[in-house]
Amino acid sequence: MAEEFIGNESPPEITGEAVRQLSVMLENRIGSLHSMIKLINDAGVHVLGFSVQDSFDVTILRLVLTDPDTVDTIFMERGISFTDNKIVVVQLDKGAGSLAGCLEALSSSENNIHISYPLLVRPGDYPILAISVDDPDFASFTLQNQGFKLLFQNDLSR
């Protein structure tokens, strides 16, 4: 991968606002995902990536959006309960071949991965991965220290 920083050398500076993942519970019924995506799109916001975790009664929908602030406001105005978490978005410069190194870097920083999913966009034509971890700030530092490029909210927003 890339060089590690030791001694008086400065680590890479994390610049940019962390990517936010909004999570919402949906009723487990036909059309609920479509209705939620339509609500978001009708506000002029695009879904860049999503993860669906289904159970018998409810579905947890996790979203990465072009404008999480707007959707945050819509959810609050409509009384839709949600959570808002910082996540790490990493670019895999060598495609699938970069995945093992990315996971190794996260393991070495003792960061537990809770959720991970690819995003629907490919800035620079590279695959990108959304990762929810215990400590997104330390994970970001570690990944950058290992030569991985991170994407921030402004990289993904229009």
- Which domain covers residue 144, as residue numbers? 86-156
Q: How many domains does the chain have?
A: 2
- For the beta carbon of residue 30, count every other beta carbon within 10 angstroms: 7
Q: State the DSSP code for 56.
A: S
CATH number at residue 80: 3.30.2130.10
Q: Is 85 helix (H, G, I), strand (E, B) or coil?
A: strand
User: What is d(CA 142, CA 7) in angstroms, rounded to the nearest whole number?
Assistant: 16
pLDDT value, residue 57:
81
For residue 9, being part of any structural domain is answered with: no
Question: Do 37 and 76 reside in the same domain of the chain?
Answer: yes
User: 93 and 138 share a domain?
Assistant: yes
Same domain, 25 and 81: yes
Query: Would 63 be classed as within a structural domain?
Result: yes
Summarised one tens digit per residue, pLDDT across range 29-54 is: 899 999 999 999 999 999 999 999 98
> Residue ranges of the chain with pLDDT lower than 70?
1-15, 158
Same domain, yes or no: 100 and 128: yes
Give the per-residue pLDDT at 13. Answer: 60
